[in-house]
Amino acid sequence: MIKMAKIILLLCLCMGAMPQLWGQGRCPEIPSNYSWQTIEDYRKDADLVKKTLRWLTLAPLQLDLVTRSEANLFVMRWLAGTPDLKIEIQTSELPFIQAHPELLESFIHGMALAYLNKDGEVSRLDAYVSGFQSVAQVASQSKAMTKSRPLKPLLKAAKRREIKQYAQKIVFSAA
């Protein structure tokens, strides 16, 4: 009887974790060879870049490191070359950067997704909000990061759905 209870408990725990895993989905198929020479080449891959950015902003940093690295490389190369998008970040406005420099990519992913979803018509504040949301999403999936002092104010703001206010303090206090 006790063994059956343990099995049922284990199944319940697994079922509780499944929606979270399903929500992350799979990384979009990244072409093995990609080259962008013209504006049209970049525009042709914009939807794939958006899908890849969505996956990168939701998937935990530790999930499938090889696929994550390939997806990140694809996105970063596209972002570096596309003439339709310019991302400006002041690292002094990122309170977590010294303790967690690996989260800069997540911040960039969030900002880029905001710009791409609005065809570049995004305020600096809204871009930062999206970047901070991406960092909070990824950081909240790591036990160590949830305990990190530099991330606590951001994670608290995310939990309270106050990232915009959090970003306002940072963006406007630095201006």
Q: What is the pLDDT of residues 82-140, one digit of tens each?
A: 998 889 998 899 999 999 999 999 999 999 999 999 876 889 999 999 999 999 999 99
Confidence of residue 171 (pLDDT cuts 50, 70, 90): confident
Mean of all residue pLDDT scores within the chain: 86
Structure confidence at residue 81 (pLDDT): 95
Q: What are phi and psi of 120, to 5 degrees?
A: 85, -5
Task: Give me the helices (H) in 25-161, please.
Answer: 39-44, 46-58, 65-81, 103-117, 124-139, 143-146, 152-159
The CA distance from 25 to 64, in Å, is 12
**Whether pTM exceeds 0.95:** no
Structure confidence at residue 62 (pLDDT): 82
The alpha carbons of the chain give a radius of gyration, in whole angstroms, of 18
Residue with tokens 């209870």: 5
Structure confidence at residue 17 (pLDDT): 42
Cα-Cα end-to-end distance for the chain? 65
Higher-pLDDT residue of 22, 169: 169
